């Protein structure tokens, strides 16, 4: 199929075309950029939900139940499972998640495993482009499941509108780990496997973290659009009169909810979906969704510029004899890295200046 036929098939709702477009995107095959570029005009309708958490938290089982419940509600679902990269092929090791059994055979649940490809946080540019493909296809909900939890998972906030962080009941070690930074990206906390001992303690520790984090300010939030949390902690020693604030509106913002689930039985999944919907409504009503999307596109532009400029400079390095020869010249004291960088960049800067001057002259005419 030609690229035009692929695009036409995807927009017509053909799953085979969607699969081929995502493969082309993931492999960075010739023509993929033009395909992705053509998708933008057809995106913006899907809810994108990120699911992250430590290994063993039950992410795959929960994602399966979420998909099943959304389908019961008549909505279509796309799932992107970010798997660890194979050291041999760079592909996804785990394949198309056999644990997602409830929706097997349902063509309105499209599951795609993608390799993390060594990208920081497990989310590559290809994943963000795959989300656009599913969005343009017409999927109502797109769920991204990441490899694990940790500071590096911050990448997911650039792709998902709403981020759920799964925390299994435990001794508190999981909560301590979350304090390293994952709290910042959580729009919803999910205590999964809530039928186990330690659930109440874990829920209370999360509540304490949210209160401490929200005291006097805001933090984090999906999409890099600024803080969602606004729960204020008032110091009992401050001179504060409730009547002073009687006429003021309640502080606006999103206070991170905590939902208890048992994914294996589906317990709490309906409540979790309701919280996702509440967060989506908050984003729209507050105007934060528009800010979130702007921030996401700004980062995409920066990423593409970095990749393209890097490719141009790699070509210039080769033309200059290759990086090894230049490094040897530095070692022998003939030059230095700064001088080499200036030499390589000068023609590029001069070319840009000439283009800007030419455009300015045309504007005067």
Q: Is residue 101 part of a domain?
A: yes
Q: Is residue 315 part of a domain?
A: no
Residues 197 and 278 in one domain: yes
Residues 222 and 324 in one domain: no
- Please report the pLDDT score of residue 39 as a whole number: 96
pLDDT digits (tens, 9 = 90+) for 316-342: 888 878 889 899 999 999 999 999 999
Residues 108 and 174 in one domain: yes
Residues 112 and 13 in one domain: no
**CATH number of the domain within which 145 lies:** 3.40.50.300
Q: Is residue 352 part of a domain?
A: yes
- Please report the pLDDT score of residue 124 as a whole number: 65
Task: Answer with the one of 268, 286, 304 that is the final residue of a domain.
Answer: 286
pLDDT band at 99 (very low <50, low <70, confident <90, very high): very low
- Please report the pLDDT score of residue 274 as a whole number: 96
Bridge partners of 79, per DSSP, are 111, 143
Q: Is the pLDDT score of 116 beyond 70?
A: no
Q: Is residue 353 part of a domain?
A: yes
Task: Answer with the one of 286, 308, 329 that is the final residue of a domain.
Answer: 286
Q: Is the pLDDT score of 40 beyond 90?
A: yes
271 versus 56: which is more confidently predicted? 271
Residue numbers of the domain that contains 19? 1-41
How many alpha carbons lie under 13 Å from residue 95 in its C-beta half-sphere? 3
pLDDT band at 222 (very low <50, low <70, confident <90, very high): very low
Residues 175 and 215 in one domain: yes
Residues 23 and 112 in one domain: no
Q: Is residue 308 part of a domain?
A: no
- Please report the pLDDT score of residue 90 as a whole number: 46
Residues 30 and 135 in one domain: no
Mean pLDDT of 187-214: 85
pLDDT digits (tens, 9 = 90+) for 55-81: 778 888 999 999 999 999 999 999 998
Mean pLDDT score across all residues of the chain: 79
Q: Is residue 313 part of a domain?
A: no
Q: Is residue 312 part of a domain?
A: no
Most confident of 91-100, 149-158, 251-260, 330-339: 330-339
Q: Is the pLDDT score of 238 beyond 50?
A: no
Residues 80 and 33 in one domain: no
- Please report the pLDDT score of residue 312 as a whole number: 84
Mean pLDDT of 194-221: 73
Residues 37 and 50 in one domain: no
pLDDT band at 7 (very low <50, low <70, confident <90, very high): very high
Q: Is the pLDDT score of 28 beyond 80?
A: yes
Residues 157 and 225 in one domain: yes
Q: Is the pLDDT score of 134 beyond 90?
A: yes
pLDDT digits (tens, 9 = 90+) for 272-329: 999 999 999 999 999 999 999 999 899 889 888 888 888 888 888 888 788 898 999 9
- Cα 222 from Cα 48, distance rounded (Å): 11
Residues 3 and 92 in one domain: no
317 versus 83: which is more confidently predicted? 317
In the chain, the number of structural domains is 3
Q: Is residue 295 part of a domain?
A: no
- Please report the pLDDT score of residue 332 as a whole number: 95
pLDDT band at 262 (very low <50, low <70, confident <90, very high): very high
H/E/C letters for each residue in the chain?
CCHHHHHHHHHCCCHHHHHHHHHHHHHCCCCHHHHHHHHHHHCCCCEEEEEEECCCCCHHHHHHHHHHHHHHCCCCEEEEEEECECCCCCCECCCCCCCCCCCCCCCCEEEEEEECCCCHHHCCHHHHHHHHHHHHHCCCEEEEECCCCCHHHHHHHHCCCEEEEECCCCCCHHHHHHCCCHHHHCCEEEECCCCCCCHHHHHHHHHHHHHHHHCCCCCCCHHHCCCCCCCCCCCCCCCCCHHHHCCCCCCCCCCCCEEECECCCCECHHHHHHHHHHHHHHHHHHCHHHHHHHHHHHHHHHHHHHHHHHHHHHHHHHHCCCHHHHHHHHHCCCCCHHHHHHHHHHHHHHHHHHHHHHHHHHHHC
- Cα 50 from Cα 146, distance rounded (Å): 8
Residues 135 and 274 in one domain: yes
pLDDT band at 35 (very low <50, low <70, confident <90, very high): very high
- Please report the pLDDT score of residue 140 as a whole number: 96
Displacement of CA 359 from its chain's centroid (Å)? 37
């Amino acid at each position: 199929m030609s690229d035009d036929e692929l695009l036409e098939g995807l927009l017509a709702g053909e799953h085979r075309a969607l699969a081929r477009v995502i493969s082309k995107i993931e492999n960075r095959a010739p023509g993929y950029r033009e395909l992705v570029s053509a998708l933008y005009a057809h995106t913006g309708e899907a809810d994108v939900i990120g699911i992250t958490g430590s290994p063993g938290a039950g992410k795959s089982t929960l994602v399966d139940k979420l998909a099943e419940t959304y389908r019961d509600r008549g909505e279509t679902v796309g799932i992107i499972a970010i798997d660890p990269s194979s050291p041999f092929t760079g592909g996804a090791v785990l394949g198309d998640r056999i644990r997602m059994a409830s929706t097997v055979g349902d063509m309105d649940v499209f599951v795609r495993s993608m390799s993390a490809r060594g990208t920081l946080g497990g989310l590559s540019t290809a994943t963000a482009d795959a989300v656009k493909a599913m969005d343009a296809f017409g999927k109502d909900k797109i769920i991204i499941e990441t490899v694990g939890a940790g500071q590096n998972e911050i990448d997911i906030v650039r792709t998902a509108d709403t981020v759920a962080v799964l925390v299994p009941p435990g001794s508190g070690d999981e909560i301590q780990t979350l304090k390293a930074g994952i709290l910042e990206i959580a729009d919803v906390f999910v205590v999964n496997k809530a039928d186990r001992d330690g659930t109440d303690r874990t829920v209370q520790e999360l509540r304490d973290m949210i209160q401490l984090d929200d005291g006097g300010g805001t933090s984090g939030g999906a999409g890099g659009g600024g803080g969602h949390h606004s729960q204020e902690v008032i110091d009992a020693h401050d001179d504060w009169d409730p009547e002073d604030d009687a006429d003021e509106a309640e502080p606006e913002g999103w206070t991170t909810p905590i939902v208890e689930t048992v994914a294996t039985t589906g317990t709490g999944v309906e409540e979790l979906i309701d919280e996702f919907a509440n967060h989506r409504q908050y984003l729209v009503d507050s105007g934060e969704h528009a800010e979130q999307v702007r921030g996401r596109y700004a980062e995409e532009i920066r990423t593409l510029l970095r990749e393209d400029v890097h490719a141009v400079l790699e070509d210039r390095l080769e033309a200059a004899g290759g990086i090894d020869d230049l490094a040897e010249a530095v070692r022998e004291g003939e030059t230095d890295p700064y001088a080499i960088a200036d030499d390589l960049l000068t023609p590029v800067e001069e070319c840009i200046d000439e283009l800007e001057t030419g455009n300015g002259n045309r504007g005067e005419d």
